Structure 1
């Protein structure tokens, strides 16, 4: 009888140890999972650097497009892009406010380097949009908070549309026909027949 009692006591003790160990293991695993998931999202310093890089790029783009319009007395596609840059800046500004980051203040107009010709301006615009897309692609490789990711995805799509506009302008051959093509993210130019402004003699983008 005593042996049976000892066996029962021993079994209860072992079961208690196993249960305690199992519970500890589960809690440890859960804590490790939470810590791992938290570590997967980039920290606020990285987000701050991304946002600063992004908004400075948008400020400079807006200043350059405006300067090109003034120098060469042209409108599209630069006028559309100036308006778009204002939208992009507003989207980023909202994130600056949410994360408590101070907006950069610089003399953007004096930082602009103007091309020598309108043709060079189109080429510079195309290259700038390609660089902009690559920048946001590199940002989106990181695990970002949803609100930051959504803004970057919106901005990369906008840059792709701008890139197509410059490519169409370069393809205009004086007949009002622009080559149709696909952007990096699948946006298609709207048909092969381009609109033409007969007074200005330029392809309307």
Structure 2
């Protein structure tokens, strides 16, 4: 009687082992099958890194439509009113070249020269894009110039001053090739940096100093990008 009972128990034990094995195989198969299928609901998203302002990037790099500033420009929305002498305009030329020649700069002169030079740079880089196609770093830097103009527009608005219109077309330098364009960009950024350094040597309201400093740092980045282009094309 015991022998028969042992035999029955042994058969039950074997059946249980078989069932457990089948369950394990089925579970492993299911897991393997799921792993091989891409689930669009759970797939980890691709993270795009914004391009640094003015950077010379690979063709497939992500470029934001409205690049964020690399520095905080800290515009005071309600600054102390400017004095009459600070509002006096007596320009000696146009853009950075005019600013570097001017020996009697008012605050209004500085702001005007800054706007003119940013307009000029933006116009020249768009002209280069129009002539030679959407080449980097011109596409990136043209968008950066738009951002720079928006900084200056905030300053004008904070003092309730009308923002100057774009008169840069008469001052544009049209290059014959991309090497000449890159060299033109180098010189334009050198002049722009020198202009802001000159402005910051004056006793300025903090919010305007911060804007000029932000714009100069942007131009530092642009200069490096253009110098890289010159080195590549020479």
Q: Does 1:87 align with 2:147?
A: yes
Of residues 141, 154, 159, the one that matches 2:214 is 154
Equivalent position of 1:105 in the other structure: 165
Q: Secondary structure at the match of 1:101?
A: coil
Contact 2:119–2:166 (8 Å) recurs in 1:
no
After the TM superposition, which residues 1-205 of structure 1 pair with which residues of structure 2 at under 5 Å, given as runs?
A: 43-45=86-88, 46-172=106-232
Q: 1:143 to 1:118 in 2, by over 3 A?
A: same
Structure 2's unaligned 5+ residue stretches are 1-84, 89-105
Q: CA deviation at 1:44?
A: 3.9
Contact 1:58–1:89 (8 Å) recurs in 2:
yes
Q: Which is helix-richer, 1 or 2?
A: 1
Q: How many residues were matched structurally?
A: 133
Equivalent position of 1:28 in the other structure: none
Contact 1:96–1:102 (8 Å) recurs in 2:
yes
Contact 1:67–1:114 (8 Å) recurs in 2:
yes
Q: CA deviation at 1:107?
A: 4.4
CA distance in 2, matches of 1:113, 1:120: 10
Q: Secondary structure at the match of 2:195?
A: helix
CA distance in 2, matches of 1:135, 1:125: 15
Give the RMSD, CA atoms, in angstroms.
1.8
Q: Deviations over 1:156-181 (max 9, x none)?
A: 0000000000111122279xxxxxxx
Q: CA deviation at 1:110?
A: 4.8
Q: 1:172 to 1:67 in 2, by over 3 A?
A: same
TM-score under structure 2 length normalisation: 0.54
Q: Secondary structure at the match of 2:203?
A: coil
CA distance in 1, matches of 2:144, 2:108: 22
User: 1 or 2 for the larger relative contact order (CA 8 Å, sep ≥6)?
Assistant: 2
Q: 1:121 to 1:173 in 2, by over 3 A?
A: closer
TM-score under structure 1 length normalisation: 0.61
Instruction: Name which one, 1 or 2, has greater alpha-carbon Rg.
Output: 2
